[in-house]
Amino acid sequence: MFNKKIFYGMVLGSSILANSCSQKTTNTMWNSENPFFKESQLPYHTPDFSKIKNEDFKPALLQGMAEQLAEIEKIANNSAAPTFENTLVEMEKSGQLLGRVSHVFNLLTGANTNETLQAVEEELSPKFAAHSDAIYLNDKLFKRVKSLHDKKAELNLDKESARLLDVYYQKFELAGANLSSAQKVQLKKLNGDIATLETKFSNQLLKGTKSVGVTFTKAELAGLSDADLESFKQADGTYLISLLNTTQQPELQNMTNPASRKKLFDAAWIRTEKNDENDTRATILTLVKKRAEKAKLLGFANYAEWKLQDQMAQNPTAAKNILNQMIPATTAMAKKDATEFEALAKRENPNNTLTAADWNYYAEKVRKEKFDIDENEMKPYFILDSVVENGIFFMANKLYGITFKKRTDIPVWHEDVKVYELFNEDGSQLGLFYTDYFKRDSKQGGAWMSNLVEQSHLFGTKPVIYNVGNYTKPANGQPALISYDDVITTFHEFGHAIHGFFANQEYPTLSGTSVSRDFVEFPSQFHEHYATEPTILKNYAKHYQTNEVIPDELVAKMKKASNFNKGYTLTELLSAAALDLSWHTVTSDVTITDVNKFEEQALIDNKTNLALVPPRYRSSYFSHIFGGGYAAGYFAYIWAEMLDHDAYEWTLENGGMTRQNGQILREKVFSQGNSDDLNVIYKNFRGKAPSIEPMLKFHGLK
């Protein structure tokens, strides 16, 4: 997952708010004790986490907004005729303090939050939204940008500058710059409400998930490995399993006790549906209503129509089309598997009835029977440190010539975090990379990548990037053994990092991963292929006790079983994507009163209503779309997967994992950022539009 909350490049939304912020921050403007008020002197200007305190954020964020407000007003009120330099370039330069502090704030509120930071986030969310409105709903500023856009052909701009002008102009239009004054007042109110609700949802989900860690006795966890049991063991002798932010939980596939499986599954299923302060359903209903009202105000039938204009898909019809091409075949595969799994359950006990909680358990048993392969047989070969340093780093060296050096002299935000410096093939510095892989109560669920510092030739900055995961931390002294799915996730998130590290743009607005949602997942998913590339796999997959390289026969089993249970994994993903579009194609005149009933009907309408195969994310904990920036955009994973399989087929047609192919990918795709139309960037690389055929073949759908 790519995660970027943009507080950067925004101004305050009302004079009352601006005055209030100015008054509050005057005394702290040059507070030498606040580390954000001056640029970090650490390598790559990375933040000095040893100096940052909870109380530093609020004054720095308020001051950052106040400073940028003055900068934006100066641009808008410039008496000189608008030029690219005195308008667009100056806008790019604005808000440096705000960018500096918001990047760290975004990191910590996702990866290591606390009640103080959550309170600041909830208080300031509507102010961030108002701040954005003050750029994109500023009449004087829009007139300057529009005048430049109207005469773009006369400006003799280079390609990237012309793209920046187009992107800004579209941002203004999407934000409502053409609305009347009265409509803008309405829009500002809606934006503030939406921002508040999104933050509320995220915090409710985090607290709700934290509060329902599931306690078991050792006997109830029969089937789990000794290493897993040791990691779950509590001081009082009980065993606590924390929930991942998905419907299915990884432990379910090995738990032999049906009652324990039901207990864990049910806890995940209703984690935020307990009619308490952490119940997200009322928040969702209000949020969806506000988003629909915003779309109507902006002249669109629904939120998805408004949101997808700047995506590769461009509209919800195109997004639904790619899902509809896959749903019939994938659900048919899932139903076929369900028949087989239920038969196995009945053979064990005629009274058994297969449920969603049992699916992964019986899938694992059938996998063992059919392919003689066991997840627990593979796991000892997947040591997290080796996956990272001998897997993804090795891949990056072979494809792109990158080398890595571990840094222990740079402060981090948690003891689990590691830091690496990256170098190009010629020895020049590329950037700084942080990893934070273990789950904890202070961390949002899932896995993601984002920046602490973004690449920009304008500022002379190189990228500082982090990957976050939620893998189970081992007991002291034990290696972190991860599942095969976690291996894929690790390669995936580093694919996002590669996209960010290869950024080569003048302007931060266009840099690296600042692309549409249905393109941003392409580099990450593309790099998943290399997790099982033989040369790379043999370099990192070594037994944690014997150091034995993963045997060829086990690799052969893995490949043979690669499409096993694909009906389930694809259906749960497609179901979630279709559910997202259902929520965001609701019109403003429709009133929804029950989240669960809406979800149930949406699954029926989308033909994904398989009781045994629930969506990967239920609405009440669908963080991507209600708190994570993927509203109306979760389909992006499927769209981007089409790109990734098409691009990977190109590598196979041209010799596979070669340094030459890596350089072509870097130069033509991964370094391009948003410097051109993304469909054009892809066609320039591939020589044609992407085809869905390689993806269908990969999944055994054709």
Q: Which residues form the catalytic set? A: 493
Nearest to 124 by CA among 199, 187, 52: 199
DSSP 228: H
Residue 159, number of CB atoms within 10 A of its CB: 9
DSSP 503: -
Distances (CA, A) of 345 to 198, 258, 348, 365, 606: 42, 11, 5, 10, 29
Residue with the two structure tokens 């897997």: 391
Q: What are phi and psi of 125, to 5 degrees?
A: -50, -50
**What pairs with residue 418 in β-bridges?**
435
The token duo for 224 is 């789990």
Q: How far apart are CA 141 and CA 333, in angstroms?
A: 54
The most distant pair of C-alpha atoms in the chain lies apart, rounded to whole Å, by 83
Helix boundaries (H) for 355-445: 359-371, 375-378, 384-386, 393-400
For 700, the 3-state DSSP assignment is coil
- Give yes or no for a contact between 387 and 494, defined as CB atoms under 8 angstroms apart: no
In whole angstroms, how large is the CA radius of gyration of the chain?
Answer: 25
The token duo for 506 is 């003048």
With residues binned 3-state (H G I as helix, E B as strand, rest as coil), the percentages for the chain, rounded to 5, are: 60, 5, 35
Measured at the CA of 577, the angle between CA 437 and CA 559, to 5 degrees, comes to: 60
Q: How far apart are CA 588 and CA 290, in angstroms?
A: 8
